[in-house]
Structure 1
Amino acid sequence: MLTFTSKQDFCAWLSQFQHPNLTPDWAAAPGLVTVAASGQFKIELPFAAHSVVQELKAWIAEQQASGQVAGFAYDVVVKPKAMQTKVANPIKGVKNVIAVTSAKGGVGKSTTAANLALAIAACGAKVGLLDADIYGPSVPMMFAQLNAKPQVRDNKWMQPVMAHGIATQSIGYLVDQSDATIWRGPMASKALAQLLNETEWPDLDYLVIDMPPGTGDIQLTLAQQIPVTGAVIVTTPQDLALADARKGAAMFDKVEVPVVGLVENMSYHICSHCGGKEHIFGVGGAQTLASEYGLSLLAQVPLHLHVREDIDAGKPTVVARPDSEHSAIYLDLAERICASLYWHGSAKPDPISFTVVD
């Protein structure tokens, strides 16, 4: 029966637990395991991780029940770390920024961004969602907040609209739904900067930004002036969508924003009557693109009537049908993205606190 005489021994044993979102020697990462004066081990997972927490607890319980290790006290918590970015300007209260982009409209980017944000929250993190589509905001409808108006503190700081447990902000909250936003590129970029920096975000582990389609002024503003931790490109298997996704990948490469990977949305259709699969938009396109650019294919999300119905009802699938196949896909996607940001990036040092003694 194993007993642990040091933290190093414990970490070496703990690293025997393996998961697709962990590295081989994951427990040895700085600050991940600490030992209290009482001898209790504390395991802090530095990214949003629901399945890792559940499976790790089950593994430890099994090891203890089988008598392979002596009993010990421990706790597992999710405590996402802030990661280093090329742009140094921090957003107050925000640790990490995930840009969800498509370079082409009509591929389900906003639906993906909404469900991704909710899935990250379900994985144990504090999350916000910024609707950066100045010309066609979707968040107010997707979250059933068509009549919401942000409160303003001190005539400057807009308060985000809370919906389904996450903080949201959108130009759609500020402009009447029947009005058209007719702005040139620089004006739209300025509006995005104001929405981002003049919103009083609560302490967030992740801010998901639903980008407008394309590779124009707003996208460049985001990439060059905002500390984006990583970008996720949404496409469909269709050749036309993939051609534009290539432009998006090339743009982020030029401005040195890391692309976490691709999401192939509408990967196939699930018949609501027989459950059969039809590859309406083609097969294998996103995998080919991922291989071409050395990216990960993060998820293949099927097209289903329920996803559209849930969004139109203002309750995205992750909260409307938490036990569904689609919710499982989004939860896995969320954890893969957050894990990739941590393992492939560099964590910022924790802020130093001082105690003033009179």
Structure 2
Amino acid sequence: MARLNASALAQRLGREAEAVCRYYLSNGVKQGNYWQVGDVRNTPGRSMFVRLTGPEAGRGAAGKWTDAQSGEHGDLLDVIGESLGLVDFADIAEEARRFLSLPHPEPEPKSRRAQTPPVPSGSSEAARRLWRMTQPLTGSLAEAYFRIRGITDLRGTANLRFHPNCYWRPEGDGPTETWPAMIAAVTDLDGRITGAHRTWIQRDGSGKAPVYPPRKAMGDLLGNAVRFGGAQDVMAAGEGIETILSLRQVLPIMPMVSALSAGHLAAILFPPHLRRLYIVRDNDPAGDVARDSLVDRAIGAGIEAITLSPMLGDFNDDLVSFGLEALRAQIRVQIAPEDVSRFMPRAP
């Protein structure tokens, strides 16, 4: 059965071969119908070739790869396992299924790739191009930054990526700078990337970069969000990415969205099967306005609305100041009893 699952997963990954390579083999480049990189562990170089087109199975199948230097060969499941250092097939399969559930921007048509025409700054297409230039979060400075903020469980966050040298431009006059940045994909309800959010960080990952503002969004944001998990009947929605990731430390499988600002939180689009919405409130006047507006919209749509309130400014402040167990206890008494058993795992 595992082999059948592996074959089916490998074929599905092969249909997204270029997206898989851009994601897990980010140090490589596309050359014709192949992706070239140093090796299956994403080392820079050109000795490994991944076939991007071809049949689903058999000789010349899409996703098959060969390392001309080492003689190694395999499929895209091997790429996922080796690039992330995964050993157990169950972990590799889980990662593959998670990847396949993510939105992936369509590759640019060949004629456009050849010319790479400019696109309007701040547009949705500019956001998609930025996303294609990013690297995995695992092992990056962005992951180190999250750990300093108390966010250590990053499962289900593949819509967060890392850019080692992301441009930061001042609002007025002044020089353009480059800083490491955490990049978040903003998507619509269908999973299409409509925008991106950038958080610039220190070169050692110890905090935000010394620029103002250290966060900027681009693209079509209204109604859309940074999504964690596929929403069904229950979902939580809040403003900041770190706020939502902090809540996910105690509710790791509850679907959540970050709307990025109070104004956009009030305007998020509701998934069609949503029946209960947790509104993750920031403790400030703008947060109160967003909550009130979202409560009214939810009730009007026949959706139960429950507000989750932090003790300090937001839930990341609570996590950093009071710790994980205090946050767990705080959330337990605010969510519906049936959601405690459904979404909150027992503390280890």
Give the alignment's TM-score, normalised by structure 1: 0.28
TM-score, normalising length from structure 2? 0.28
